[in-house]
Amino acid sequence: MRKKAQLFLDKHYKIAQTDQRIYGSFLEHLGRAVYSGIYEPGHPQADSNGFRGDVMALIKELDVPLVRYPGGNFVSGYNWEDGVGPVEGRPECLELAWRSIETNEFGLNEFITWARKVGTTPMMAVNLGTRGIDAARNLIEYTNHPGGSYWSDLRKKHGYQEPHQIKTWCLGNEMDGPWQIGHKTAEEYGRLAVETAKAMRQVDPEIELVVCGSSHEKMPTFAEWERAVLSHTYDYVDYISLHEYLGNRDNNLANYLAETDRVNEYIKAVIATCDYVKARKRSKKTIYLSFDEWNVWYHSNAQDQKVKPWSKAPGLLEDIYNFEDALVVGLFLITLLKHADRVRIACLAQLVNVIAPIMTRPGGGAWKQTIYYPYYHASRYGRGTVLQPEIISPVYDTEEYQGVNFVEAIGVLSDEEREITLFAVNRSQDSLMELECSLNNMGDLELIEHIVLEHEDIKATNTEENPDKVKPHNQGKTLVNGHRAIVELPVLSWNVVRLRVK
């Protein structure tokens, strides 16, 4: 069975230039994200720092531009000083967010060294749960001040003569959440955040700051939280955060694939709230969005209840992703690109083992989960100018969503304007889609390749024993004639169509 859809793109109708940080990720001291994830001294492929070489290779392949650290819920009870200085002198602590033992063997300086080795940029979070202004100003003095003060000289004593120059900072994490250590009302948090921002900017005026938005759009305080917090912080911050995790708990695939339509509305609501505060303040400044936690997360919930508390690096949040999850991640990436004018930072949460595209076995191998592939394709081929899409597609309805396009797509024009990449998902469970693309004012085009991620089993997963069960191929069918392309989108598929301007 075959259905038809249309995509219209024009070189002159642009959303925005992508900020490469939209393809960022996240590492928290949670489960095995750090220990036996990126860091495992004694592993056959560990380097002299204890960093796993096999994991570093997979991360370099993704070309991750930014990594948020060290949390997450973890940061709201974290004393950063516990993770610096001689390792043998660092304390083992009760970590309350995930009820684990934190050894502090891996800390701030190890993270910076690792980030440089994999070619990424750090995005640091400060603790506004149990701590506040004083700890934050000391931390940024330690990381960014060149020397001649207590904390900057302590960094030098720890072996780092040059400042780390961390320029992007999160003012706490999910402070609207009752689960958060040091949970606050919007007024309490807004006041603390603005005063912390002022102090941090006194130490380094060149930093960017992210203030906490709602933990997700279903929070009872959503939108009012953003309004109240921004009423305090608007003049002192650059971004407001969004967090969202999707899942197929009811095993309803049609509804699951439509969930990103809700994400699209969530983003628009946050933008509207930011701009309302802008208008109220008569400000010329625009607040941008940092979608610094997003992913699929639901597979591991039952297993996590069985983990023994106060363990060291227990196996927590280890979702094993299947093929349908990869489609949802692809749809999420398209949604982020649709808002590239306001979403400047985004972090797939997380990077290794914990709801992650990369899995490892302690002492063993590392492999790509199904969701690795759309993330890889977007990071590699989705940098440039996002073009405004006009899509005409057959639609479907679910119990929760109405008028959902079977075809979702976006186009990104390379900086040199010599290539255009189309990302497209066919949500249909029974119909191949013929997507007719009109690519105007770009000249004649030719096909470079058409990559397809598809699988007959929507529940198929990758494992260490069978790491390539779900993987893309480049045998997709696309016909190009001048500035038009006919793209065949297989049933339930993620598609990457790369075209060259002749």
* Nearby residues of 191 by Cβ (< 8 Å), 6 or more positions away: 232
pLDDT tens digit sequence for 165-191: 999 999 999 999 999 999 999 999 999
pLDDT tens digit sequence for 362-392: 999 999 999 999 999 999 999 999 999 999 9
Query: Where residue 301 falls among pLDDT bands split at 50, 70, 90?
Result: confident
pLDDT tens digit sequence for 118-129: 999 999 999 999
Question: Token pair of 380, please?
Answer: 């590699």
Residue whose tokens read 């089993």? 457
92 secondary structure, DSSP code: P
Q: Tell me what pLDDT residue 304 has.
A: 65
Angle at 356 between CA 498 and CA 386, to 5 degrees: 30
Question: Token pair of 62, please?
Answer: 């993704």
Residue spans of beta strands (DSSP E) within 96-152: 100-102, 121-126
CA separation for the pair 118, 6 (Å, rounded) = 40
| 3-state secondary structure at position 483 | coil
Does residue 150 lie within any of the structural domains? Answer: no
CA separation for the pair 60, 142 (Å, rounded) = 28
From residue 272, how far is each of 56, 286, 346 by CA, in Å?
A: 39, 11, 19
Residue 283 sits in the same domain as residue 208: yes
pLDDT tens digit sequence for 14-60: 999 999 999 999 999 999 999 999 999 999 999 999 999 999 999 99
Residues 487, 488, 493, 498: what is their CA dihedral angle, to the nearest 10 degrees? Answer: -30
Of the candidates 118, 142, 102, the one whose C-alpha atom is nearest the C-alpha of residue 60 is: 118
Residue 290 sits in the same domain as residue 405: no
Domain limit, last residue, from 354, 381, 408: 381
Catalytic, 244? Answer no
CA separation for the pair 200, 177 (Å, rounded) = 24
Residue 405 sits in the same domain as residue 268: no
Residue numbers of the domain that contains 466: 2-10+387-501
Does residue 151 lie within any of the structural domains? Answer: no
Residue 182 sits in the same domain as residue 219: yes
Work out the average pLDDT over 326-348. 98
Does residue 146 lie within any of the structural domains? Answer: no
Q: Tell me what pLDDT residue 307 has.
A: 82
| Domain count across the chain | 2
Residue 369 sits in the same domain as residue 406: no
User: Is 70 exceeded by the pLDDT of residue 421?
Assistant: yes
Work out the average pLDDT over 441-458. 97
Indicate the range of 308-312, 331-335, 495-499 predicted with least confidence.
308-312
User: Is 90 exceeded by the pLDDT of residue 494?
Assistant: yes
Work out the average pLDDT over 303-315. 85
Residue whose tokens read 């309302």? 276
What average pLDDT is seen over the chain?
97
Domain limit, last residue, from 329, 359, 381: 381
CA separation for the pair 165, 146 (Å, rounded) = 9
Whether the CB-CB separation of 89 and 82 falls below 8 Å is answered with no
Angle at 496 between CA 495 and CA 497, to 5 degrees: 115
Indicate the range of 137-151, 201-215, 299-313, 484-498 predicted with least confidence.
299-313
pLDDT tens digit sequence for 206-253: 999 999 999 999 999 999 999 999 999 999 999 999 999 999 999 999
Of the candidates 494, 388, 489, the one whose C-alpha atom is nearest the C-alpha of residue 440 is: 388
**Of the residues 293, 318, 324, 488, which is catalytic?**
293
Residue 351 sits in the same domain as residue 470: no
- 271: domain CATH number is 3.20.20.80
Phi, psi of 55 (to 5 degrees): -70, -45
Does residue 149 lie within any of the structural domains? Answer: no
**What percent of the chain stands above pLDDT 90?**
97
Domain limit, last residue, from 344, 361, 381: 381
Residue 364 sits in the same domain as residue 442: no
Query: Where residue 306 falls among pLDDT bands split at 50, 70, 90?
Result: confident
Q: Is the peptide bond before 17 cis (omega within 30 degrees of 0)?
A: no
Give DSSP secondary structure letters for 282-343.
T-----EEEEEEEEE--TTHHHHTTSPSSEES---S----BHHHHHHHHHHHHHHHHTTTTE
Query: Where residue 267 falls among pLDDT bands split at 50, 70, 90?
Result: very high
**What percent of the chain stands above pLDDT 70?**
99
Does residue 193 lie within any of the structural domains? Answer: yes
Q: In the beta sheet, which residues pair with residue 423?
A: 410, 496
The terminus-to-terminus CA distance of the chain in angstroms comes to 34
- 409: domain CATH number is 2.60.40.1180
Residue 365 sits in the same domain as residue 391: no
Residue 39: half-sphere exposure toward Cβ, Cα within 13 Å: 21
CA separation for the pair 483, 39 (Å, rounded) = 49
Catalytic, 40? Answer no
231 secondary structure, DSSP code: H
Residue 393 sits in the same domain as residue 377: no
Mark residue 155 as left, alpha or beta (left: phi above 0; alpha: psi -120 to 50; beta: remaining). Answer: alpha
Does residue 196 lie within any of the structural domains? Answer: yes
Does residue 330 lie within any of the structural domains? Answer: yes
Residue 226 sits in the same domain as residue 297: yes
Whether the CB-CB separation of 461 and 322 falls below 8 Å is answered with yes
**Of the residues 28, 81, 174, 488, which is catalytic?**
174
Give DSSP secondary structure letters for 409-427.
EEEEE-TTSSEEEEEEEE-
User: Is 90 exceeded by the pLDDT of residue 450?
Assistant: yes
Whether the CB-CB separation of 100 and 312 falls below 8 Å is answered with yes
Work out the average pLDDT over 279-297. 98
Q: Tell me what pLDDT residue 276 has.
A: 98
* Nearby residues of 69 by Cβ (< 8 Å), 6 or more positions away: 26, 27, 28, 111, 122, 123, 124, 125
User: Is 80 exceeded by the pLDDT of residue 476?
Assistant: yes
Whether the CB-CB separation of 327 and 404 falls below 8 Å is answered with no
Report residue 105 CA to chain centroid gap: 25
